[in-house]
Amino acid sequence: MKHIGRFFFFMLSLSHAKTFYQDHARGWHWYEKMPVPEDPKSKNNPVAEPKTPAEKMKAYREELENRLADAWLNPTPQNVSKYQEMQQDMMNRSQTFSQTWMKNVYTNASLDHTLIAPVNQKAVHVYLDQEKERKKEVIKSLSTTHGLFFFYASNCPYCHQFAPIVKRFAEHYGWEVLAISLDGGPIETFPDAVPDNGLASQWHVTALPSLYAVNPETEAVVQVAHGLASLDEMENRIMVLTRGDQ
């Protein structure tokens, strides 16, 4: 029985040796690393694409809000501390951003808005004077293409107060004014006023006094004032409302 066991062991060893010797052409390459089996989870969980800066900021903001909510709902020292730490980090980042922003402004004239709208007191006066002159030139140039339609009523006290302001504006900038009486009555400032021929209804004039800037060529009509307005308000509104007609 012992001899049979040895013989069986010998035959088993010989079969393994034969397999090795038959593969001798590969030399020591027969001792190769086994291939690493592919993780089935990798097929279901591919490598995520890197987040964009906007996505990172959104995630940061959400984390900050979550920490705040957690600290408010469950104000333990640990929860409050977690929120405080992240809030401090946010403040540090904001300060760094602000400092870098101002450094760029100070070293790049094209980014310095104070060169356009200065904050220095003396520079502000110069800037305002220049803006006033520019506004004056623009409004004067508009007088060649625009006119004013002034709607009033003879029994309207606000109309009588507003009429001299309209006249002063027209004389200063060279605009023509057509005064239109809704009740047919006169007004001292504009003795050549004409009665309304239905234009007030067409333009939906609902408040008196009302002033419109009109471009006859383009038929553009913009309401400059509805109610009593100052000279400055008229200037600013005409600058804004007629910008596309310049």
Residues 155-196 have pLDDT tens digits of 999 999 999 999 999 999 999 999 999 999 999 999 999 999
Q: Is the pLDDT of residue 39 over 70?
A: no
Which residues are within 8 A (CB) of 106 and not within 5 positions of it... i.e. 6 or more apart?
A: 112
Instruction: Tell which CATH architecture fits domain 131-245.
Output: 3-Layer(aba) Sandwich (3.40)
List, for residues 211-228, the tens digit of each pLDDT value: 999 998 888 888 888 889
Q: Name the residue ranges covered by the structural domains of the chain.
A: 55-105, 131-245
H or E segment and range at residue 195 = strand 194-195
**Burial of 178 (C-beta count, 10 Å sphere; 0-12/13-18/19+):** middle
In angstroms, rounded to a whole number, what is the distance separating the alpha carbons of residues 123 and 121? Answer: 5
Give the per-residue pLDDT at 111: 74
Instruction: Locate 17 and state its tokens.
Output: 């040796």
Do the Cβ atoms of 147 and 214 come closer than 8 Å?
Answer: yes
Q: pTM of the full predicted structure?
A: 0.51
Residue with tokens 């490598």: 47
Instruction: Locate 154 and state its tokens.
Output: 């003879």
